[in-house]
């Protein structure tokens, strides 16, 4: 059996697939493993209660359950949900959008695959147009989401030291040389893996660059406002015709429904809808139906602000406190300022081994983290040592597990630097 070039690409080593397999294998081989590597949202009882009630009222309704299961939605996804979401976003942020500015997708992961291939790849003249990540570290899941090769390019971050053990990444605008090979700019905000929130000022500058070059700025808001609201800084939520905003119901606690949301101008939305049709006829109805009441009542904002945000904020604060408690003061370790998402990004300056070796050593001690080198999609400068000095740890699991894991990480680091 012979595969096409694209078939071969997907049958070979794909970064995110390898990583997920590796994490899954490590967990299944060792039930005592402390999981600080994944991106699964916490099971927050209050959120689960709400979702269970929504499911119950769907089941109790005369027709809604049967309609949800028995009818295809249109290629843009559930109309009532899109109308309610447009109203919620207009009420909250005055974006001036309507349901035709919104398309649902099977998780936001598939939205990125569609968007990157709508903009990136060969143009009519055969020139390969690229997607630019202006600040790496960036989400690993973007890395293989293109049909053609060499579609991604990225720049390394500028580092601001906030205090002895806290730092923050910024876009290095001096290194952001845009020419007509760039088809779109993309950032996750809050960022997976770092918990960074690119500042309003940086977003405005990126927007200006995008507008000047007649290309879109794609903002991946999988963790941001208005939902799930895992964001600890005050930011302006902007949208305009040249901005493509992606949201997701996953980190709210519904990854199993695979519901991604894209907000963009009508041309982008109808192209995405066509891709939905070709790939799956229509996006699934389940997530939209289950969250419909939350969106129509706008209680999704309250749930995000009053339950989800404080839950993750407290977990982040506690994990940082434990790291300060257990890591030796005089070692040059740094935590990225925790501004959102569900990860802490640790940088061990002049680490005597690579972060991959550190990952292996921690795995041998029953702690699973992710080596930072995975999070530099499209970066040519392979010699940036920083790429091999960082790890991502998730703090969303059980507090006792997080505490035990941090203790093991700190013991290993303290020993390595002694």
CA distances from 37 to 116, 130, 279, 311, 383 (A): 26, 30, 31, 19, 25
Angle, alpha carbons 51-221-142 (nearest 5°): 110
The answer to whether residue 244 forms part of the interface with ligand PLP (CB under 6 A) is no
Count of residues in the chain: 418
Which of residues 157 and 408 has its CB atom nearest to ligand PLP in the complex? 157
The residue nearest ligand PLP at its CB is 107
Per the rule left: phi > 0, alpha: psi between -120 and 50, beta: everything else, 56 is: alpha
Mark out the alpha helices in 281-417 (DSSP H runs): 286-296, 299-303, 309-326, 355-364, 399-417
Among 248, 257, 394, 397, interactor with ligand PLP by CB under 6 A: 248
Q: How far apart are CA 99 and CA 80, in angstroms?
A: 9
Which of residues 322 and 397 has its CB atom nearest to ligand PLP in the complex? 397
User: How many other C-beta atoms lie within 10 A of the C-beta of residue 382?
Assistant: 9
- Residue 97 C-alpha from the chain's centroid: 24
Q: Which of residues 250-289 bind ligand PLP (CB under 6 A)?
A: 250, 255, 260
DSSP 361-373: HHHHTTEE-EEGG
The answer to whether 151 touches 193, Cβ cutoff 8 Å, is no
Q: Is 412 exposed, middle or buried (0-12, 13-18, 19+ CB in 10 A)?
A: middle
The answer to whether residue 108 forms part of the interface with ligand PLP (CB under 6 A) is yes
Among 42, 109, 196, 394, interactor with ligand PLP by CB under 6 A: 109
Which of residues 260 and 372 has its CB atom nearest to ligand PLP in the complex? 260
We find the least distance from the C-beta atom of residue 349 to ligand PLP, in angstroms, to be: 26
Which of residues 20 and 416 has its CB atom nearest to ligand PLP in the complex? 20
The answer to whether residue 377 forms part of the interface with ligand PLP (CB under 6 A) is no
The answer to whether residue 188 forms part of the interface with ligand PLP (CB under 6 A) is yes
Which of residues 344 and 408 has its CB atom nearest to ligand PLP in the complex? 344
Which of residues 198 and 413 has its CB atom nearest to ligand PLP in the complex? 198
Q: By C-alpha distance, which of 119, 114, 147 is closest to 132?
A: 119
Q: Which of residues 213-232 bind ligand PLP (CB under 6 A)?
A: 220, 222
We find the least distance from the C-beta atom of residue 108 to ligand PLP, in angstroms, to be: 3
The answer to whether residue 15 forms part of the interface with ligand PLP (CB under 6 A) is no
We find the least distance from the C-beta atom of residue 287 to ligand PLP, in angstroms, to be: 10
Using the Cα atoms of residue 154, residue 239, residue 39 and residue 232 in order, give the sign of their dihedral. positive
The answer to whether 116 touches 246, Cβ cutoff 8 Å, is no
The answer to whether residue 192 forms part of the interface with ligand PLP (CB under 6 A) is yes
We find the least distance from the C-beta atom of residue 267 to ligand PLP, in angstroms, to be: 23
Q: Is 315 exposed, middle or buried (0-12, 13-18, 19+ CB in 10 A)?
A: buried
Which of residues 333 and 395 has its CB atom nearest to ligand PLP in the complex? 395
The answer to whether residue 39 forms part of the interface with ligand PLP (CB under 6 A) is yes
Among 81, 113, 133, 139, interactor with ligand PLP by CB under 6 A: 139
Per the structure block, which two tokens stand in for 242?
Answer: 């040249």
What mask of x and - would describe binding to ligand PLP in positions 140 to 159, judged by CB under 6 A? -x------------------
We find the least distance from the C-beta atom of residue 411 to ligand PLP, in angstroms, to be: 29
Binding segment for ligand PLP (CB under 6 A), chosen from 116-124, 233-241, 247-255, 275-283, is 247-255
For the CA atoms of 84, 87, 91, 92, the dihedral, rounded to the nearest 10 degrees, stands at 60
Q: At what angle do helices 355-364 and 399-417 cross, to 10 degrees?
A: 120
Which of residues 290 and 413 has its CB atom nearest to ligand PLP in the complex? 290
Which of residues 254 and 307 has its CB atom nearest to ligand PLP in the complex? 254
Q: How far apart are CA 181 and CA 129, in angstroms?
A: 5
Q: Which residues pair with 128 in a beta bridge?
A: 122
Residue spans of beta strands (DSSP E) within 214-356:
217-220, 243-248, 259-263, 333-336, 343-348
We find the least distance from the C-beta atom of residue 328 to ligand PLP, in angstroms, to be: 31
We find the least distance from the C-beta atom of residue 250 to ligand PLP, in angstroms, to be: 3
Which of residues 377 and 410 has its CB atom nearest to ligand PLP in the complex? 377
Binding segment for ligand PLP (CB under 6 A), chosen from 230-238, 248-256, 324-332, 347-355, is 248-256
* Residues within the interface to ligand PLP (CB under 6 A): 39, 107-109, 139, 141, 188, 192, 220, 222, 248, 250, 255, 260
């Amino acid at each position: 059996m012979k595969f096409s070039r694209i078939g071969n690409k997907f049958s070979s080593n794909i970064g995110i697939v390898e990583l997920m397999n590796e994490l899954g294998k490590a967990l299944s081989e060792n039930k005592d493993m402390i999981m600080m590597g994944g991106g699964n949202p916490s099971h927050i009882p209050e959120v689960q209660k709400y979702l269970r009630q929504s499911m119950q009222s769907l089941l109790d309704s005369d027709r809604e359950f049967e309609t949800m299961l028995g009818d295809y939605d249109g290629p843009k996804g559930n109309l009532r949900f899109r109308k309610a979401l447009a109203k919620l976003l207009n009420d909250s942020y005055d974006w001036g959008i309507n349901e035709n500015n919104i398309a649902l997708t099977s998780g936001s992961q598939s939205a990125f695959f569609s968007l990157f291939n709508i903009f990136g790849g060969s143009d009519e003249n055969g020139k390969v147009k690229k997607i630019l990540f202006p600040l790496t570290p960036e989400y690993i899941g973007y890395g293989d989401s293109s049909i053609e090769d060499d579609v991604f390019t990225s720049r390394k971050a500028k580092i601001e030291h906030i205090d002895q053990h806290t730092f923050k990444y910024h876009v290095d605008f001096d290194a952001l040389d845009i020419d007509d090979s760039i088809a779109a700019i993309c950032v996750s905000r809050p960022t997976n893996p770092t918990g960074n929130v690119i500042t309003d000022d940086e977003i405005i500058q990126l927007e200006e660059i995008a507008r000047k070059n007649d290309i879109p700025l794609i903002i991946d808001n999988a963790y941001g406002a208005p939902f799930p609201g895992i964001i600890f800084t005050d930011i302006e939520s902007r949208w305009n015709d040249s901005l493509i905003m992606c949201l997701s119901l996953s980190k709210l606690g519904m990854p199993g429904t695979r519901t991604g949301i894209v907000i963009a101008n009508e041309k982008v939305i109808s192209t995405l809808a066509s891709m939905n049709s070709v790939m799956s006829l229509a996006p699934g109805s389940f997530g939209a139906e289950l969250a419909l009441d939350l969106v129509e009542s706008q209680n999704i904002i309250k749930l995000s602000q009053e339950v989800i945000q404080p839950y993750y904020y407290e977990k982040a604060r506690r994990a940082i406190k434990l790291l300060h408690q257990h890591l030796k003061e005089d070692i040059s370790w740094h935590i990225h300022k925790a501004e959102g998402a569900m990860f802490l990004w640790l940088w061990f300056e002049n680490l005597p081994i690579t972060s991959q070796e550190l990952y292996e050593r921690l795995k041998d001690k029953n702690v699973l983290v992710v080596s930072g080198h995975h999070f530099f999609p499209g970066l040519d400068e392979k010699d940036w040592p920083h790429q091999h000095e960082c790890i991502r740890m998730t703090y969303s699991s059980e507090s006792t597990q997080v505490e035990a894991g941090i203790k093991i990480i700190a013991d290993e680091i303290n020993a390595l630097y002694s």
